[in-house]
Structure 1
Amino acid sequence: MKRHLNTCYRLVWNHITGAFVVASELARARGKRGGVAVALSLAAVTSLPVLAADIVVHPGETVNGGTLANHDNQIVFGTTNGMTISTGLEYGPDNEANTGGQWVQDGGTANKTTVTSGGLQRVNPGGSVSDTVISAGGGQSLQGRAVNTTLNGGEQWMHEGAIATGTVINDKGWQVVKPGTVATDTVVNTGAEGGPDAENGDTGQFVRGDAVRTTINKNGRQIVRAEGTANTTVVYAGGDQTVHGHALDTTLNGGYQYVHNGGTASDTVVNSDGWQIVKNGGVAGNTTVNQKGRLQVDAGGTATNVTLKQGGALVTSTAATVTGINRLGAFSVVEGKADNVVLENGGRLDVLTGHTATNTRVDDGGTLDVRNGGTATTVSMGNGSVLLADSGAAVSGTRSDGKAFSIGGGQADALMLEKGSSFTLNAGDTATDTTVNGGLFTARGGTLAGTTTLNNGAILTLSGKTVNNDTLTIREGDALLQGGSLTGNGSVEKSGSGTLTVSNTTLTQKAVNLNEGTLTLNDSTVTTDVIAQRGTALKLTGSTVLNGAIDPTNVTLASGATWNIPDNATVQSVVDDLSHAGQIHFTSTRTGKFVPATLKVKNLNGQNGTISLRVRPDMAQNNADRLVIDGGRATGKNHPEPGERRQQCVGAGDQR
């Protein structure tokens, strides 16, 4: 028989006749949902274009193994085991125009099928499949029932009437649960690769129908759209659930739940490291927050009937609505008023401008933020608590040591700022007896009154001109004074073994008392005498200029630093060990009579530094400043030159 050009043939076993028949490669019952086999005679085939074969597995028949490729179509009324499908997605994922691949019909069953890239397994109403593995680029279109499907980058599209049980969604796999479908016992291991609350849209589980008993592991994400419902979901650390529809009985075992505008979450249990976030327009009811769990209710969000257990965290503001019970009893945040709120373990309450908070308890890890114009009364601050406020707020209560404190009317009294706390003193306001224990104190002008204490880790940041007429003391550890200017007739006292660093600051005080530890002046201008105790250290770094005497301590001058020794200092400058790479100048501040000054140094180590002394040749006696090496030694040489007013230490302290 003569063959037509470009025509090929396939022998197909006809179950009815019990013999092979010839079928065209492209012969297909296009659009026929029933999947009837097309068995053609040789004479009929010769006049048709090239078509693929439709292979029918009849009721009661079992086919074990085999591969579908090159547009083959297997229509299953019976049973198949171990088929591999590599064709069927000619028109793309979840496209009704696709007709190839494996079609499991009413009463048909397919077990342990492997769907590879480009492959399609379609399960029509009444059909069932089990243990299907779908790789990237492959898909399963489901209207019947699927059990234990594994999506290794592949996709499962559930159409109305479909039921999927035990689907496992691995790396970049995607299960689409459409309206009228049910997915039960799904395990989600992918979808959160884009970061927290990033709706990737084509990985993980996408729910517009019903998802029941879903487990979301690390990197997993379930997105519940407006018409979708998720019931009895467990979310582990690194996984999350995004809710635009309805979520019921979710348990957060370290995972996150985001309730968006229009979304509702009921009976959520937040365990250790879990986090429920209720966004603007979202609603949560009957949430239970256990120890180390966290409930966050954003402005415009609502959470009612909350049970906040001891050690659980509430994060919210007075622009949200939150009601429930905590270890103190009933609490509420309603219409700009917060009452009886407990903050601990990462909990936080923001009291906004014009809003109020009463009876707030702030324990270890809790934060109370009172904005300018906000009011918080009867506040109880515990150990490890954090207060954020400025002098425009109104706050009153007790500190962790039981002492009363207050902010109001531009006056702050007896504040204690623990690590993480921050207080801003506005221009024209006054802060009295402030203690900074590792917190941040910012002064935008204003006045420091009483004793301002900086302890280990404390930062005092100045912006503009701040006045200190009393005492600024550093008692223990390291502290930082930076920026702006500090003026007035007060004093700075450094105690303890740590370091006080003064950086980019203009400091003018009656005195600086260096009792213990180290004082570092960096890129600052300091006008005062430094009265020190032996065994302490003073370091001038950067472009620092010190105008005043030093008595006595170990001094280091960096190459860009300058020490001006005035002739009207209250004490004589006495230095134990001087390491000198900068400039030292004896300066005249008096008018009239010339008064020489003396610098006594026990040990001088010159490092290309310069020392300038004043000389009055017209005077017979006491006509020059003096540098005295007192009981120690100078590394270097001195070469006085007639008529010169300068002695210079060069090399290893050479003087000339």
Structure 2
Amino acid sequence: KLTGSTVLNGAIDPTNVTLASGATWNIPDNATVLSVVDDLSHAGQIHFTSTRTGKFVPATLKVKNLNGQNGTISLRVRPDMAQNNADRLVIDGGRATGKTILNLVNAGNSASGMATTGKGIQVVEAINGATTEEGAFVQGNRLQAGAFNYSLNRDSDESWYLRSENAYRAEVPLYASMLTQAMDYDRILAGSRSHQTGVSGENNSVRLSIQGGHLGHDNNGGIARGATPESSGSYGFVRLEGDLMRTEVAGMSVTAGIYGAAGHSSVDVKDDDGSRAGTVRDDAGSLGGYLNLTHTSSGLWADIVALGTRHSMKASTDNNDFRTRGWGWLGSLETGLPFSITDNLMLEPQLQYTWQGLSLDDGKDNAGYVKFGHGSAQHVRAGFRLGSHNDMTFGEGTSSRAPLRDSAKHSVSELPVNWWVQPSVIRTFSSRGDMRVGTSTAGSGMTFSPSQNGTSLDLQAGLEARVRENITLGVQAGYAHSVSGSSAEGYNGQATLNVTF
């Protein structure tokens, strides 16, 4: 009987063993208790230990009857090996009762892991008619390797096995969603012309915009079926843009400018079974440019936008914190042709094509390597904008206050105002973006390719008012709803300050 803080090292050949709480028995590799222990009453700690370097040699403890009293047994496991891959507890002809906690230690490459075959990795073996109660053994810790979680299961032969779960470990959908989250942010930041200039189309100006909103993807079968993982989160950014050049060329008005932005997004991701996988946070800095061409007589216009973004991302679960950085880039071509319905009402059909790409750095967590393939997607937006087309000339001030008389209106109702609504259909296609987890161990690596392809309906609406001769304030809000596939959905709000010079 071992009591208190007693420590026993090595194999022994007794009839009965009792480990009281606090007592420890260390069993080295390749040590087998040759005669069957009649009764093991276990409330302490048993450790299978290694005195060797290099080759893994499993150890075995054989008992007849085990009475578990919340004692622990630490077993070494090699998920990357097909045979002789775990220490074992053997129940020979007797019974395992009570509760014994099995703590699992990855004795191989912590990043290696393979899908189990057959019954799995045997850690408790029942022989010669031995039986084990349903709750005789419980898994004390999570074992992860490569793309897999391994869980303890009791089989019909009364033995207990570790099996790779059908659902991948939580980090798999979490890391796969990082590609989608970064590209969603870039696409929203680039936006359409309504997000950049508003209905007034002011040139030779500087614009400061603040936007925030909610963004997510529905469950469309999960990552196991090639869909983007289910997610829900928020984003926000501040964007400053300014015109650098305006000129007239062959009946065309040409305007060029640059813009920069800083933003953050935070998204909660779910596993295929609907449980929480973790959270991805992204800090992003962007720099872009735009070119606007407008036909003076017809009003036909085209906008060309280019954007580059540096992403710094962190994925957090209960077991891992994984960080990566990367670059996203985007190009957009948008066109529209306004038609006057009445003197102050305009209808403008629009068409926009967007192509984007993303490259994230490879890395590793405590269960394996993480490698990202090149991500890309294409989007087509078709819609129209309907809105007022009032003359936004400020005119003379009417304020009764002497200092503001020439530059401010007497009341809000006197301010020049325009409104607009913009319904659209957005189709995402040809999306790609591989994520691979595993190691160099043959058979341990797995590649996941979540698709962003799908269709969504989008509605934006805005209002702008000229509050000074050279100052315009605008607000807008929007909502996108996915109607097929794995396209993004959410809502947004934006406020814009436009100052002409």
Q: TM-score, normalised by structure 1?
A: 0.21
Structure 1 or 2, whichever has the larger Rg, is 1
Q: TM-score, normalised by structure 2?
A: 0.26
Q: Which has the higher helix share?
A: 2
Q: Which has the higher strand share?
A: 2
